[in-house]
Structure formats: structure tokens, C-alpha cells
Chains A and B, each alone.
Chain A
Amino acid sequence: MTVGEVHRISLTATVLLPSLGLLGGSTVLHYATLLYAGAVVLGIFGLHQVVRGRLRTWGVHLSTVIVFILSLSQLSYSPIDAALIVVMAGIINRFYLRSGQRDDLIMVGAAGVLLTAVTIVTPGITFAIIVILFMPSVLWAMLSASILGLSDRWSHPSERARKRKELADRPAPALSWTLSSWGLLLMLIGYIAVSFIPRYRFAQYFTAGGLVNFSNVGTRMELSTGGVRTRSYGTVALRVYGINRRNYAVEGLYARLHVLDQFDGRNFTDSQGRVTSHPSAHSEQSEGCTTLVALHRQASRYEPHPVAVLGRSHPTRVYMPRVQSYASGTWVKRIPSGALDIRYRSCLDSRPPAPIPQDKREADIYMARYLDVPDSLDERIYTLAKKIAGDEYSPERITERLLSYFSGTFSYQLDGLKGTSDDPLVRFLFEAKSGHCELFAGAMVVLLRINGIPARVAAGYYGGHVNRPGRQLEFTSDDAHAWVEVLIDGYWRWVDATPERERTRRRGMGFVWLMDIWNALESWWYEYIIDFDDERRRAMITRLQNVALSPREWMSRPALLGQHGQQHLRRYFSLTGLVVGVLFVVGAGVLRRQREHRRVRRLGLKLRQSLGGGPEPLGVLAAAQPATLEPMARRVVELYESYRYGPDAHRPNLGKVQQCMREWLSMRARHRSRQSREI
């Protein structure tokens, strides 16, 4: 490839790649990015033109000014969007009117600004792909721009154009692998190096400008439970890891995010103040019992949530790295990196004590909250509750009867609630007798409370999908679910009135393995890049220190080398062996290359001496040889230069060059001896 071709491709890729990430932004930015990408693609065809007409120049300037004015209209409520659109307009302007290295570097810098914005908009594994392609593109664009920029030294425009064309037609330097691999390697090394910088959390005191602060975007995420929303509308992913990443969570897992304990006759809401106290989180009324609208940041690492794990007895970790909703706004004011990392303990074997106060008065107040039933409740519901309970007084028996009632006569459906009553609970229990999980859970809680059993609605996820490549259990919005918590014998017990087969909307689909690999990659990306915080960094350093220091201790006390130590020892030696092997291969390659260079250098010196020496080029020296020697001299010089400077595809074998050199030396020696005899 020529330098010009490399420049066109790399510069176009440099300015286009960030647009892939920006497409996931707000609606205005989305359409602006599409227009930008279209303009850049159209501009590719005009990249080679250096001389421009006046009409074209002013047309491009006018378009830039119009876009600038239009973006000002966005400035009042979306300044970051407006700023990014202005950057895009600037890139397009320079892209069409580019005239040298300065413009190229401006475009590269502006593309860097766009990529910085992409870190906010698209933090997922897509960013990894973008940045991996972006780095070589930038390096190649700057390198080719630097070469083409040499034509700027010619003051006359025609001379400059001629020189630029001459440089553009040159073959590109043979640096393809060197440049790309060095770029990516240094990026990785740089990341590791700078990631050791401690986080000072200056954000508590001030905001670092527009880089991380987007306005007019919702910090709110819509969490739709019960499957009333489609997957494309909102996606919530929970991932559950086992200890040491070896044990998987199993099917049947309930992950509770909230409990809704206050019932006003139509909706259940959170009375803890946790959800409602947050300015961006609230519960809102809906057709069903309850639709929870909550901020995803409410589930933070500092607020441990108990999650029941069926069949599990060890502590597990819920991981929710990705929460996004295209409709209600994706961007948040800060990256919710650590905020979605939930640590919790299982409560199966060692059931946690119920938070019932010891004081009787306070305990009564506490219990009354979960027995509260509004006076406006329909009388038919009271009658039904008493009828199902019958003469049973045991809370367990009453709960079993209620579950049997729902499983026998009710069906699951996601359609709108049928019936004519204004009260959705009446419509569900007496008219439709079908509905989604929130209706089942809400009705169950009301019937339990009427019978004097404290109960509340739990909202979260059920089921999940085992992602084997990623060794994780994943939840999506299809797994969103609501169920019931009943206070029996001082402990909250979980019951689920929804028919078992309908508790999750997740169904089998094609290319699951592909999605699993993608999700596993994304999980790895979040694990080691996005959420790699101080705590985990310190843990990694400690592990590395253990690996590095342990063998010395093991060697001194081999008796102490148990199974754990053997495992570490194996890991240590395999790691050391791997490093030594890599160093050996790289070192052997470098030494081989240096040896070849030395050999070629000696060959060149020998050839120059045999041609008579002097600073002139070898071709001139060969032409000055006697007529009998000249053809052979030209041949050996041609072979030598093609070996040394020629492209890889046409490079002759070194043995062939050496053979030709030997022939040349012997011919020259014969010529000299003949000359001496004549003298």
C-alpha cells in the first residue's frame, strides 16, 4: 500500500470509529452522529483532492456555520450534546478542506475528544473493540500525515502539490506490525501503569468539567418488573458469581432488590425510605398492583441486600454491571462502576434474624406495618380471605391454602387486566382470574394480611441463565419477578403464588452460545477494566506478592508444602516458565535479526572495498569498473541492494547474494592476476 492509501484509510477510520459509540447517546446526538458518519463516508471520495474551488470552500464553511447555529439551539438544555455536535462539524469541515499535516492532527485530536465522550456513552465491551481499532488508526494517521506533511516545505502551491503526490505514491514504511502491536502494547502498559494512581474521589468536591458531566439526561433507570416491558425497552443484567468463580448458582434463584411493604389499597410501596428518599427513584402507579421505578444506584455495595439462593449454602456475589434503557436516558452523571457491585450473604442455612424490635411496643408498630389493610378495600376480598383460610389458625397452613387457591384456579398472562371494576385487585381476584406476577404477589399479601399474617411484596429476579463460558449466572429483564415474604416464627419466609412455569419469561433462542461468549467478554471487561477499583487492585498486588514470595518460603520448609502450596508452586513455575519462554523467543528473534544485520553490513563493506571504495553509491562504483568486470559488478550490486532495500516480496535469498559475491570476488581476482602477468 502507498502512503496516500494508508492515510486515507487510517484517517477515515480515526474519525469514524468514535461515532459507533456515540450512536448510543441521546436522540439528538444519535441523529447527529448518523449525519456525521454519512458526511465522512461521502468525504472519503474527495480526500485526495488538494486544490479546491472557491464555491466548495465557502459551501463547506457555510454548512459548518449553519450546524454551529443549530447546535446553539441545543445549548440551553443539552450543552454536551451541542459541544459534541460542534466538534463533529469541525471534523467534517477539516475533512473536506484539509490541506496538510496541521488539519490531519486537528482531526485526530477532535476524534480523541469524541472517543473520550464515548467512555461515558458506551462503556461496555463495544468500547474495547472501538479503542483497539482506534489506536492503530490514530498512529497510522499521524505517521502518514507526518510523511505527507513533508511537502509543506515547498512554498509554491504547485510544487507542494507535486511533492505531496510524490510522497503519497511512495510505498508505506514496513512498520505495519511494529506500529500496531507497539501501539496496543504501550496502551496496555500505560493503562496498567496509570491505573496504579490512587483514586482521590475529587468528584466529591468539584466536577471535572464536561468530560464526565452530561446534562439533560436522566439519571433514572426504569426497572420494569413482572415482564410488563419488552426486552428492547430496558435491560437489567444481574450476574451471580460463586466463590473462586468455580461454583455456579443454580436455577431457581431469587434475587431480591426491594421489599414493598406499604399498601394503600392500589399499590405497594417501600416504607423504608430507601427508594422514595432518593431524588431520582420513586414508585409509581400502574395498571397492575405495583410497578417499581427505581434508580439503579440504590443497590450499592454499601447497602447489602439479602438474596435467597436455593440449593446454595455459601456466600455469593451479585454483580450488576450493566443497566441501560434507551428510552428513558442512558447517561448518568457518573459512571456507576462500584455502585452496582452488590455483596451479600445467603440466608438459607443460617437464616438471618428478622429485624423485629425487642421492645413490645416497637414490635407492635413494626408488625402493624405488615398487617396494614386500608379501609377502602372491597368487602368481597375480606370474604374471600376468610373463606380460603377457613378454620385454620396456623400461618403455615393458611399460606399453603392460599398458594393452593392461586395454583388451582388462576392463570398467568401479561395482557391487560380484564374486567370492569375500578379496583385492579377486585378485577384480578374475581373477574379476570389471570395476571402477571405482581398481581399474584400483591393479592397474596393482601389475603395474608387480612388473615392476620404479616406479609410484604418482594421484587427482584427469578431464574437466570447459566453462562458457562463466563462462569456466571445472568439475569435480564425477562427474569424480573415479584413474590411474597411472610413473617412466620419471627423469620421472613419466601413464598411465590405465581405458577412455577410462568415465573420467568426467558425462552430459548438461537445462537445462545454466541451471546454467552459476548456476555462473558463483557463481564471480563467490566471485571478487569470498568470496575477494577482500588480494593481489587490492592488484592491483585497482594496475590502477585504471594506468588512471588511464597516459593522461597516453600523451599525453606518443604514439609509445609501442602496441597495449597503445591498449587501455588505449580502456578508460580508455570508463570515463570511462560515468562522465560516468551523472553527467550523474543530474545532469539532480536539476536537473529542483529546477526543478520551484521552479516549484511560486512557484506556491504566487502563489496564496497572490492569495487574500489569511496563515498559514491555502489551503482556509480560498479559503472566505473573495467568493461570486462562491469556486468558482473552491476549484477552483484543490484542483488545486494534489492536484498537490503527491496520490498519483502522481491527480496532475494541471502545465500544467493553471497554466492554472487563469491563469483564476483573470484572474477576480480582473476582479472587482477591477468593484469599483473601482462605488466
Chain B
Amino acid sequence: MKSIRSFVLRMFRPGLLRWTRPPRRAIPTLPGLFALVSPLFLGLAAVTATNNLLFLLLGATLGSVVLSGVLSERNIQPISVRLRGLEPAYVGRPVRLEVRFCRPPNVIPAFDLRFREAPNIIIIPRWTFIPKPPQVLDVHMEVVDGEEGSKTVERIFTDRGLARLPLCELSTRYPFGLLVKSKDVTPSLEIWVRPRPVICPSTLLHMPGVRSDQGVSVRKGQGVDVYALRERNHRDSIHRVHALRSLALGREVVLEMTDIEQPAADIGVATALSADAEAMERALELAQSALQRWRSEGYLVGLTTFSQSFRPGDCPLSVLLDHLAQVEPEVAWSNGHCPRVWLVPEGAVPPMGTTPLYVSSDGSLRQGVKSAV
């Protein structure tokens, strides 16, 4: 019985809360509380003294509260909010987001707009100026003069995949600072959150079979002629550094080649449906760190999951990382390019003929035996 009750609550409570949540909320500020309480005393005095002038003041006080509501509604009613990521997002890392306040034509500027996530907040006590950790979105926009106004904020996402913000609210204290009037806003945010950045373990870096350095290179010049030396740039692999000349010159120099075939590295992730979810996240994080590390060393990188396969050099690194952000567990690996080494989360089975690296849910690696062909 208890489970049924909890099930019903779990199923219907969010909808019920949203359904019973009023479309507009007006929470008085501290001065607004006085402004709302003062009519009670003023009205009592007016009724007691039968002084019509006190009734006039009472009417004025109530009128100002009504006017506050009308103007604040006029301020926030036409505003819509759009969010856009300005850089790639990683789990647990602050990402810069652009919050854009859009509104139809209006001569009067919109003042004092506050946009924030309000997952379970029904009553907002009052404004707080303490800087909040960026796990929740809290944007304050002083003035929106024209059709649009934008502001850049940081936000940390805790889950990989398509970022989804909970129900947000747009509020304002305008025009008199008596009421915090707010409305619900469903933000349209389209940003893929990549796995958490981790340090690539040395086990994975030195794993035989994931990197190939057999690039065909033809030196410029003849014999010991090293006139083709040049300074190393970020595209050059570290193994092309001319050690002796670098030590002599005090900076890294590489040999200029007439034709360079970059070395390649690739890895697979067994994104099986049977894999432990936590372990799979760790495997994706390791895969991401390895891809980034290899690419920084000048390798062409490739990635294979159960859903899709990218050969080294097929696409840039960002596409691979976005794929890691979007990857979902699959039933089985479909045939395609098969790397020699696979990261296998607990509970998953590697493709046959490959070298598995088992990943536990705490992120530790364990080398397995090459599976039979």
C-alpha cells in the first residue's frame, strides 16, 4: 500500500504542484509588508474616527498597491527568455551561458528583471544578495532598453547529455519595490554537456595498440643537413622534437618534413545496455580525457561506441566529444571500424578480438585478457 501511495505521489505530485502553482505570484518585500499592513491600521483608525480623510488615505494606499501590481505585470508579462551556451559544457565545470531577454515592442524600458531557477520554490522570502554557487542559474538584468537584452552567466551542470533546466521564474520588484512579482518561464536551452574532465591515466596512454606512430615522413635536406629545423608548434607531435638541437637552442625545435602523415590513435567504449551506469560514465570520462590528450600530442583521434564509429581523422575532436555527450547505451555493437583497445564498463562485454580495459564505477582501470577472435 505504501509503495502504491509513494508511486502515485511520485507520478502525480510534480504535475499537481505545477497545476496548483499560480501563474503569478506576488510576494511582498519588507517595505511592501509595511505597505500592506499599514492599510489595516489606517482602516481601523478611519472606521474608528469616522474620518473620511483617513478613508481617502486608505484608498490611496490600496490604490498604490494595485498600481504596483498593474505596472509590474506590464513589466514582466511580455518578456520571454532564451538561453544559449557560449562554450562547450563539461560536467562539473562552469560553463558560460548567454541569457537573452526578448520582448515585443514597448517604449518603456523593462527594469529589474531577475531570472532564476526555482525547482521547488513556492515562496520566495525576499531578495538576497549573497553570491550563490553556480549550480543554479540566477541572473539579474537591470534594464532592457530595446527589443532584446542579454547577459552572460556561469552555470555548472551535473549530468551528461542534453542540458535541461528545471522550471524557472522571472521576477521583478519594479515599479515601487513593494512586491516581488514572478511568473514561471520554461527556458529553451540547447546545449550538450560532455563528460566530466578527468586526468588521463598513464595505463591508458601507454596501452599498446591504441596509438600508431608509423607516419610516413620524408625529411627535407640531405644527410646531416638540418637546415629544415623550425620551432615546434602545437600541431607537431612530441616525438618529432629534435632533442639535441632543442637543448642547444634552449627551445623546442622540430624537423621540417616534406610530407607528414600524422600518427593516429583510437579507442572504443563498450556502451552496452547491460553496463553499470556509473561505470559507463567513468569510461566515457576516461575516453574523453584520452582523446583530448592524444589530440594535444598531435594524433589523429578516433572513437567507436556501440552506436557509432569514427575513424581517426574522420572528424574533428569536438564532434567526438559531442558524441560522447550524446551517447546512449545500446544493445550490442554493430559491425564497423573496430579499435584494438576498448574501455569496458562493469557489466558490459567487449567485442571479440579486442583488448579490454575494464572500468569500475569508481573510475579505476583494470587490464583484461584479449578476447578470443
Q: Mark B70-111, 1 if CB is under 8 A from A, else 0.
A: 110000000000101000000000000000100011011101
Q: How far is the CA of A44 from the CA of B197 in the complex (A)?
A: 59
Instruction: Please judge, given known A-B contacts A138-B64, A604-B105, A617-B148, whether A203 and B48 are in contact too, CB under 8 Å.
Output: yes
Contact (Cβ within 8 A) B143 A102 = no
B50 CB within 8 Å of chain A: yes
Asked, given contacts A131-B60, A186-B66, whether A191 binds B55 with beta carbons under 8 Å apart, the answer is yes
The distance from the CB of A282 to the nearest CB of chain B, in whole angstroms, is 27
From A86-94, A170-178, A312-320, the one touching the partner chain is A170-178
Report A-chain residues with C-beta under 8 Å of the C-beta of B176: 139, 142-143, 146
Beta-carbon contacts under 8 Å, A562-615 to B: 597, 600-601, 604, 615
Inter-subunit contact A208/B49 (CB<8 Å): yes
A194 in contact with B105 (CB, 8 Å) = no
Complex Cα–Cα for A150 and B142 (A): 7
For the complex, give the distance between the alpha carbons of A152 and B140 in Å. 12
Q: How far is the CB of A350 from chain B (nearest CB, A)?
A: 35
CB 8 Å contact bits of B48-75 with A (1 = contact, 0 = none): 1111111111111111101100110000
Q: 1/0 contact trace for B164-181 toward A, CB 8 Å?
A: 000000000111111000
Chain A residue numbers with a CB within 8 Å of B64 are 135, 138-139, 142, 183, 186
Q: Does A218 contact B (CB under 8 A)?
A: no
Selected interface stretch from A56-64, A387-395, A529-537, A656-664: A529-537
Pairwise interchain contact A615-B63, C-beta atoms closer than 8 A? no
A197, B58: Cα distance in complex, Å: 12
Q: Could you tell me the distance in whole angstroms from the C-beta of A142 to the nearest C-beta in chain B? A: 4
Q: Of A115-123, A511-519, A670-678, which binds chain B?
A: A115-123
Report which of B34, B49, B52, B112 forms a contact with A146, defined as CB distance below 8 A.
Answer: B112
Given A139-B67, A211-B45, A212-B45, A530 contacting B52 (CB threshold 8 A): yes
Interface positions, chain A 315-356, Cβ under 8 Å from B, are: 334-335, 337
Q: Looking across the interface, which residue of chain B has its beta carbon closest to that of A196?
A: B55
The answer for the CA separation of A243 and B148 in the assembled complex, in Å, is: 64
Q: Is B213 an interface residue (CB 8 A)?
A: no
A109 to B34, Cβ gap below 8 A? Answer: yes
Instruction: Kindly list chain A residues whose C-beta atoms are within 8 Å of the C-beta of B52.
Output: 195, 337, 529-532
Stretch from B36-44, B302-310, B317-325 forming part of the interface with A: B36-44
Chain A residues with CB under 8 A of B146: 617, 641, 644-645
B57 A116 Cβ-Cβ under 8 A: yes
Q: Mark A175-194, 1 if CB is under 8 A from B, else 0.
A: 10001001101111111111
Q: Does B47 count as interface, using CB distance less than 8 angstroms?
A: yes
Tell me, yes or no, whether B336 is within 8 Å of chain A by CB. no
> Which of A191, A533, A601 counts the most chain B CB atoms within 10 A?
A191
Contact, CB under 8 Å: A195 / B175: no
Contacts of B60 in A (CB 8 A): 131, 135, 183, 186-187, 190-191
Taking the closest CB of chain A, its distance from the CB of B362, in whole angstroms, is 40
Bound-state Cα–Cα, A153 to B51, Å = 42
Number of residue pairs spanning A and B whose beta carbons lie under 8 angstroms apart = 191
B31 and A208 contacting across the interface, CB-CB below 8 Å: no
B328, CB-defined interface residue at 8 Å = no
Given A119-B54, A533-B50, A597-B104, does the pair A604, B147 have CB atoms closer than 8 Å?
A: yes
Interface centre among A112, A120, A138 (most CB of B within 10 A): A112
* B50:A335 contact, CB within 8 angstroms: yes
Bound Cα distance A641, B140 (Å)? 24
| Contact A170:B148 (CB < 8 A) given known A139-B67, A187-B56 | no
Interface flags for A108-143 (1: CB within 8 Å of B; 0: not) read: 010010011001100100010001000100110011
Q: Which chain A residues lie closer than 8 Å to B55 at the CB level?
A: 191, 194-195, 197
A601 x B104 contact (CB < 8 A): yes
Is residue A155 contacting chain B, with contact meaning CB distance below 8 A?
yes
Residues on the A chain within 8 Å of B53, using CB:
119, 123, 127, 335, 529-530
**Contact (A208, B48) CB under 8 Å given A183-B67, A644-B105:** yes
| Alpha-carbon separation in the docked complex, A240 to B229 (Å) | 116
Which of the residues B48, B56, B140, B148 comes within 8 Å of A202, measured between beta carbons? B48
Cα A189 to Cα B70 in complex, Å, equals 15
Residues from chain A with a CB closer than 8 A to the CB of B45 are 116, 208-209, 211-212
Q: Is the pair A212, B140 in contact by a Cβ cutoff of 8 Å? A: no
Q: Is A199 an interface residue (CB 8 A)?
A: yes
**Residues in chain A near residue B44, CB distance under 8 A:** 202, 208
Check A442 for interface membership: any CB of B closer than 8 A.
no
Q: Does B231 have its Cβ within 8 Å of any Cβ on chain A?
A: no
A116 touching B177 in the complex, CB below 8 Å, given contacts A200-B47, A601-B105: no
* Docked complex Cα distance between A150 and B100 (Å): 19
For A119, the closest partner residue in chain B by CB is B53
Answer yes or no: B259 CB below 8 A from chain A CBs: no
Q: Does A149 contact B (CB under 8 A)?
A: yes
B198 to chain A, nearest CB (A): 34
| The 5 A-B residue pairs with the shortest CB-CB distance in the complex, in nearest-first order | A190-B59, A186-B63, A191-B59, A119-B53, A208-B48
Instruction: A174-B107, A615-B84 are known; give 7 further A-B pairs, CB within 8 A.
Output: A131-B57, A150-B142, A175-B175, A183-B64, A186-B62, A190-B66, A203-B49
What is B's interface to A at a CB cutoff of 8 Å? Answer: 31, 34-35, 38, 41-64, 66-67, 70-71, 82, 84, 100, 104-105, 107-109, 111-112, 129, 140, 142-143, 145-148, 173-178
> Can you sample 11 A-B contacts with CB below 8 Å?
A105-B31, A109-B38, A163-B142, A182-B70, A186-B62, A186-B66, A202-B44, A208-B49, A212-B49, A531-B52, A645-B147
